[in-house]
Amino acid sequence: MSFSATTPEAPRPVLWRWIQFVLDAGAWTLAILVAVVLRYELTEQTLTPNGVAAFSLLAILCQAVVGFSMALYQGRYSFGSFEEARLLVSVTLIVATILVLLSTFLGFSLQIPRSTGVIAFPFAALFMAASRYAKRMWVESRQKPGENAQQALVYGAGFLGSNLVTRMMQDPKSPYYPAGFIDDDPAKKHLRVSSVQVLGTGEDLPELIRRTRSTALILAFAAADAAFIRGVSDRVAGLGVKVLVLPPLKDMLGGGAHSVTDFREVAVEDLIGRRPVDIKVEEIAGYITGKRVLVTGAGGSIGSELCRQIHPFAPAELIMVDHDETALQATQISLTGRGLLDGRDTVLVSIRDAEGLTRVFRDRRPEVVFHAAALKHAPLLQQYPAEAWKTNVVGTLNVLRAAEAVGVEAFVNVSTDKAAAPTTVLGHSKRMAERLTAWMAGRTGRRYVSVRFGNVMGSRGSMLPLFSEQIRTGGPVTVTHPEVTRFFMTIPEACQLVIQAGAIGSGGEVLILDMGEPVRILDVAERMIAMSGKDIDVVFTGLRPAEKLHEDLVDPDVADVRPLHPKISHATSSGIAPDRLDYDRWLAECARTEEAMIEAQVQEETELSHEVIPGSGAA
């Protein structure tokens, strides 16, 4: 959400500039009267009123000449800012110096002491600053958030927090009224910004929320880490407070659509704490810019984001391939704002159709291919392994052969962490796709690689949208096992890795992202429930056939080598020739690993049931 502010920094009308000059002229007149009275120590002296008036007119004339020449009345600086205050002092000092020089030569005839200008200087500057401050207070008092604005606490009284509060206090349409700052820096204990005070530290949050009756807590940090956000969320859980975060500072200062007022509610991605891996733009641009790029599965979560990230690199053509016409239209709309499906950028064909796919490749002759089309729902594929074979294995082979036929230079196969030491049909099918890609790399000598990563947050059919829907409908939230863990990454992060793989990968390699520590699924479910504010149960359904309790990223017997990027491992894959593909043998291997996994799960549950629980009194 965001709001716009009408600030006093807007260009001031000409009328106001002249009004300010008249006020400054009055300030000089009053300052000279005060200076003369102080000069004679409040005693009666014989003064010529005409002399005081003439000296005041000289001061006003000097103020006009110096002030307008130095743009004091031309709106050069923000109203009431430190920059304007510095300019005001400079102008006043120059005018006072001129008055001292004039009084040296004209003071006798005007009966004005030569020290009048020196004494008047601080008073004139003070009176002029006072008029500006009074106007600033009047403007800000008119621009405060309206009566319907919700009370909000702002965590962080630094650059972002101060700017945010200033904007909020100057916008009558702001949805939030800043009730106070929270800051852990003891030096800011008594700080005030736009009359908003630092009320306490993070430890005082529950008490301050109740005292101020705040309904929102805004985290004013450029990049708050996941551990901090989790701590804050836990501290305010059950208090009926929305936790809001700001966009990254680079987005706010990068000239994009984000600003300091574009805050949003904390998402589960913030709590998990994934951060996109930096990509080497110059390397990416070198092999995508000006090239014909084809993306299979372009209507899916990964494929569509790939298209959106590739598009800014100005490929000669971006060819989006999918068998789902509605998904293709959604991707086209996200790129061009149009969904007419009448251009050459969208191609409707299934990767299972080898002949149709080859025709597309021969007609469009892509130079770079990103293969994201796949079936990925593990439980469903466990029931229908033939479908996994047709799409993930044979479909990948069809794309590889079509790419070979037209001399594709770079081919990136999107894989999954379930291909490491696979136990499910999905894992086995994607592992076979990796091996086929490695075989084609050896056959062509070109840069054909696979990219392996974990669960993608927000992708279609992933866990997080499922939890969100279960929470929306009142639950229960289903989790397979209380200790099950998974690796997570964001969709943009996954696509960055896929694109970078085409730049740094060598033929036949499998590139694997270092996804940090695995996340316990139960923790994610409980946090999402807490964020919803609802009372929802969690139900454990048990691990599904062949499902792992903990996923692997790299096979146990494969070395973790990172020669080019500290977050990307390079592994090798043993290729398999198409003539060695055998569905029955592959299916038997899937069944064998499933049986072994089930036996291991049964044995583990048996061992756990015989463990003595401390404090239970069991013998």
Query: Which parts of 384-490 fold into alpha helices (H)?
Result: 385-388, 396-405, 425-444, 463-472
* Six token digits for residue 408: 């594709």
Cα 407 to Cα 422: distance, rounded to the nearest angstrom: 31
> Which one is the CATH code of 281-455+487-515+559-590: 3.10.20.30, 2.120.10.60, 3.40.50.720, 3.40.1640.10?
3.40.50.720
Average pLDDT value for residue range 294-305 = 94
Q: Which H or E run contains 512? A: strand 509-513
pLDDT at position 606, please?
63
Query: DSSP character for 368?
Result: E
Average pLDDT value for residue range 444-472 = 81
- pLDDT range class, residue 46, cuts 50, 70, 90: low
pLDDT at position 610, please?
46
pLDDT at position 5, please?
43
pLDDT at position 258, please?
45
Q: CATH 3.40.50.720: does it fit domain 150-266?
A: yes
* Six token digits for residue 73: 């009345």
Which range has the top average pLDDT, 146-160, 218-232, 239-253, 470-484?
470-484
- pLDDT range class, residue 254, cuts 50, 70, 90: very low
Q: Which residue has the higher pLDDT, 550 or 580?
A: 580
Q: Which residue has the higher pLDDT, 438 or 84?
A: 438
Chain position carrying tokens 């048996």: 606
What sign has the CA pseudo-torsion 305, 310, 311, 312?
positive
Predicted confidence (pLDDT) per residue in 408-431, tens digit: 999 999 998 889 889 899 999 999
- pLDDT range class, residue 227, cuts 50, 70, 90: confident
pLDDT at position 143, please?
63
- pLDDT range class, residue 206, cuts 50, 70, 90: very high
| pTM exceeding 0.85 | no
Average pLDDT value for residue range 582-607 = 82
Predicted confidence (pLDDT) per residue in 531-548, tens digit: 777 889 999 988 877 777
Q: In what order do the strands lie in the sheet with 192-193?
A: 192-193, 196-200, 176-182, 150-155, 216-219, 242-245, 264-265
Average pLDDT value for residue range 127-146 = 75
Q: Which residue has the higher pLDDT, 515 or 122?
A: 122
Residue 601 pLDDT > 80: no
- pLDDT range class, residue 73, cuts 50, 70, 90: confident
* Six token digits for residue 152: 């909000």
Q: Which H or E run contains 293? A: strand 292-296
Average pLDDT value for residue range 91-107 = 84
Angle at 138 between CA 132 and CA 139, to 5 degrees: 90
pLDDT at position 616, please?
32
Cα 345 to Cα 341: distance, rounded to the nearest angstrom: 8
- pLDDT range class, residue 149, cuts 50, 70, 90: confident
Average pLDDT value for residue range 181-198 = 87
Which range has the top average pLDDT, 461-465, 534-538, 556-560, 613-617?
534-538
Average pLDDT value for residue range 57-67 = 90
Across 15-19, 141-145, 275-279, 545-549, least confident range: 275-279
Q: Which H or E run contains 383? A: helix 378-383
Cα 500 to Cα 412: distance, rounded to the nearest angstrom: 10
Which percentage of the chain shows pLDDT scores above 70? 82
Q: Which H or E run contains 413? A: strand 410-414
- pLDDT range class, residue 108, cuts 50, 70, 90: low
Q: Which residue has the higher pLDDT, 14 or 317?
A: 317
Per-residue DSSP letters for 299-367?
A: TSHHHHHHHHHHGGG--SEEEEEES-HHHHHHHHHHHHS-----STTEEE--TT-HHHHHHHHHHH--S
Looking at the chain, the domain(s) classified CATH 3.40.50.720 span 150-266, 281-455+487-515+559-590
Predicted confidence (pLDDT) per residue in 497-507, tens digit: 788 888 888 88
φ, ψ (nearest 5 deg) of residue 6: -95, 105
Average pLDDT value for residue range 181-210 = 89
Q: Which residue has the higher pLDDT, 537 or 80?
A: 537
Average pLDDT value for residue range 179-189 = 90
pLDDT at position 410, please?
94
pLDDT at position 614, please?
42
* Six token digits for residue 157: 């009284």
